Structures are given as C-alpha cells and as structure tokens.
Amino acid sequence: MKYVLLAAALAVVSLGLAQAAIIPTFLSVSNLGAGVYAYDYDVVVQSPDQRIQPTTIAGPNDHPPAGENNHFTFFDFAGFNGLASYLSGAFSSDFAVSSAMTGPNAYHVAPTDSSVLSNVTFTYTGTGQISPGTDLGHFRIQSTISSATGSVEFAGQATKNVPGGRGLDGTVATNDVFVAGPNPGGVPGAVPEPLSMLLLGSGLIGIGLLHGRRRLRD
C-alpha cells in the first residue's frame, strides 16, 4: 500500500514537470544573520518547446490572446521580508522583481493564493528572445523562516517555441509546479499545498492500517 501512495505522490510531481514551461530547482537556504535567511533557486526554460520573450502573440482565433508577458511567481512565500534579487547569471538586467499579496496569475493557472502571504514575481523586461533550454540563472528570495521544510507553489508563463506548429509558435505557455520553500506553519491563512495534503493523507491512511492490524492481532 505504501508503495502505491508513494507512486501517487511522485506522479503528482512528475505531472507538473512534464507540462512545465519554466522549471525551478531549489538550491539552498543560508543564514544571512539578524534572523534573515536566503532561499536560492535555479530557473531553467524548458527545452525544446518553450522560450522567453517580452510578450506573446495571439493564437488561432485569438486563443490564447496576445500580450501575455513572460514571468514566474513563487506563491505564498512565508516569512518574506520584502527583499528578492537576481543572484547570478547572464540576464541580470532583464528581470524585474515585484511582490504582492495576491497574483499575478499565469494564463489559465489558478494556484492556491493566501491573502496574508506574499507572492514574489520575476518578470522578463528584456527586448530579445531567450532560447529553449537556457538556464536563466540563480534567483534569491529572503525570509525570516530558517529552513525549507515545506513547499511553495510556482507558476511560470513563457512562450511556445514550435515553428510551423499550426499557428502556436509565439503564443503563451504556462505551468504550475511545487518547489521546496519555507514552511508556513502557524501563519494565519496558510493553506496546505495539494502535494502536502496527499502526503499527509498517505500518512493518516498508514496510521489507520497499522492500528487496524494491531486490533486484529489483539
């Protein structure tokens, strides 16, 4: 039973990555002192079918619509102290950092979004295209929480790279995945992420099965 539940949990993660346009990888959390911790992430554009550019064009029959900017957002980043930055890479002048309590949502993506936890967004402001498969570099978000024992939802919005693909080249591509981040435990309004709920559910089921077996033995 436990192997089935583990496989289900991994399938949730794999499903998100299989459809990813922009892929985040958690690198580390480090102590900056004075109760502040740096969460570092590496972000890559999926190859070969997505790229980054300032805005997207309209698809067939204007669906999806034109004008969607390319960006990615870390949702409900617990303990965020208002500071985030492009840490290293070749595009340091091409991404603007912003934060908000809700949004922005990528096209046709509806992540869990608490109104009491900050979202951190990196928006592409360059003028050229970033090729499929490009490592965008390392990005840093600061928090007052010391360890990445939870997960945060990550939504990306890129551009489809499918030349000759029935008018889809240049249209919007989006994704929604989970990545390690500060645990929002004890923060009012924090909502457990779906993967966390799945793992919690598997634990409760396991406890129930164990209890049942003990009663049978008794």
Give the range among 26-30, 77-81, 127-131, 163-167 with minimum mean pLDDT: 163-167
pLDDT tens digit sequence for 5-29? 333 333 333 333 445 689 999 999 9
Q: What's the DSSP call for residue 70?
A: P
pLDDT interval class at 185 (50, 70, 90): low
pTM for the whole thing?
Answer: 0.78
Mean pLDDT of 104-120: 94
Report phi then psi at 110, rounded to 5.
-125, 80
Q: What is the mean pLDDT of the chain?
A: 81
Q: What's residue 199's pLDDT? A: 36
- In order of their start, the domains of the chain are 20-193 (2.60.40)
pLDDT tens digit sequence for 187-201? 444 444 444 343 334
CB 136 within 8 A of CB 25: no
